[in-house]
Amino acid sequence: MRKIFLLICAALLMTGCVEEAQAPLKPAPNKINLNAAKDGVYIVESSRDENFGNGTLTLTIKDKKIIAADFTGYDIFGKVKGADYGSLGGKDTDDYRKAQAAVAAIKIYPAQLVETQDLSKVDAIAGATISYNQFVETVKRAVAEASQ
């Protein structure tokens, strides 16, 4: 009886982890304030994730508006995340598809930021949580730097 209980608990824990990883992401509010931002081009690097690398943001601000943003993701070896990112196990794997979702998101996040001028309106994409968090981190750092 005890073994069955432990097996059920383990299954529930594993199911909870899988569901959490696959659930649609709802980002926390990420408001930025450009009122004190100075015109300029700001280049900021994210913190490094030991398994998935880091990212670099180039943010251009003019007249208290973001007029351009470019975010580049790098794998743990410092190589730009591209068509081969996540393909170590083959291109027919879930890992590859998830990695490619992150590659696609890296291109979408900056465009959404420029369009909306509101970091809280940049949609997190399932499968690209780390890239999203790195993007948010770099935008906040760049705006803080611009506002000094």
| CATH code for the domain in which residue 68 is found | 3.90.1010.20
Burial class (CB in 10 A: 0-12, 13-18, 19+), 75: middle
pLDDT of residue 30: 81
**76 in a structural domain:** yes
Distance of CA 79 to the CA centre of its chain: 17
Is the pTM value of this prediction over 0.75? yes
**18 in a structural domain:** no
Q: 64: domain range?
A: 28-146
Query: Does 4 score more than 60 pLDDT?
Result: no
CA atoms within 13 A on the CB side of 113: 33
Query: Does 98 score more than 60 pLDDT?
Result: yes
**58 in a structural domain:** yes
**71 in a structural domain:** yes
**65 in a structural domain:** yes
Query: Does 67 score more than 70 pLDDT?
Result: yes
Cα 6-8-14 angle, rounded to 5 deg = 100
The tally of domains found in the chain comes to: 1
**14 in a structural domain:** no
**9 in a structural domain:** no
Q: Where are the beta strands (DSSP E) in the chain?
A: 40-45, 54-62, 65-74
Termini Cα distance of the chain: 63
**73 in a structural domain:** yes
